[in-house]
Structure 1
Amino acid sequence: KTHGADDAEYHHLLLLVTAAFMVLSQANHVVSFFVALEMATVGLYILVGFLRKSNASLEAGVKYLVAGGLSSALLLMGFVLLYGVAGMNQGVTDALSFDDIALALTANPNSVLGLVGAALVICGVAFKIGSFPFHSWIPDVYQGAP
């Protein structure tokens, strides 16, 4: 499907999203994971609302932006709690590394902060990918996307 004069912008956004997902697949640190995920979703927000003359596309873009903002907040709060758990553990060199977070959670498996943080991260990621039961935004966004 062609988009007229916006073809170059459209393809640049596709490359941005692809590059962000490539970085995301190699992330082993909370910051690189979150930045790559947000870089991809910002590109996807723009791509969903790309047809500026279509009300359905604009509505889908706004709904995706709201759902993505909520899921990002859940994900970030979960990472903050996991950072707190990993930072309290003895012998942790980098509390933002996924390896050290896993080490801290296995050293203290009954930590309420760790369980709540892990639950928030799981809910945030499930919301981002549209997994059940966090998929209520999917039909509207898919219907309005170009």
Structure 2
Amino acid sequence: MWGYLHEQKEIFIKLPCVIDPGKANRLLRELGATVHYDVYGFDAQSYEAWQSESILYLNLFREGVEVYVQDDFDEIHISYPLATRPSFDQTSALDLLSKIIAKFDGNATYQGQPFSAQLVQEDWDKCNSFLLKEWGEEPGSFSLRRMIEENYE
């Protein structure tokens, strides 16, 4: 088994009020989101077969319980697949995160701290360095994807 591989990083956004799915869909679609089954995603402009197809995945919650895209919600959990996207996507992902937070007038946190794109990027840079130093792999590489899959076997 491999050690910690920084598969994904999560940002939590608490909304000031419950939002209905029609309005939420409009707001997210304005930002470029698409629906993948029961979650929203933001498709990557390009990707290799072993890389994540989206740069961000959104899961919706109401009162702490995960709900579907057709339900009202009051919280958004956003995942960035750090290990399976090239590091050059990180700036775009952070810009998009900032737009989502602003669009929903949300209160966002990362690792229990108030969201700041600069602080998140600093943490992600540490993760990038860890992957390179510890495993000799960069985010988005085929070998790192294989290591992740081996971790779950």
Q: The TM-score by the shorter chain falls in which range? A: 0.3 to 0.5
Instruction: Give 1 or 2: higher helix fraction.
Output: 1
Larger gyration radius, structure 1 or structure 2: 1
Report 1 or 2 for greater relative contact order, CA contacts < 8 Å, sequence distance ≥ 6. Answer: 2
What TM-score comes out, normalization by structure 2 length?
0.33
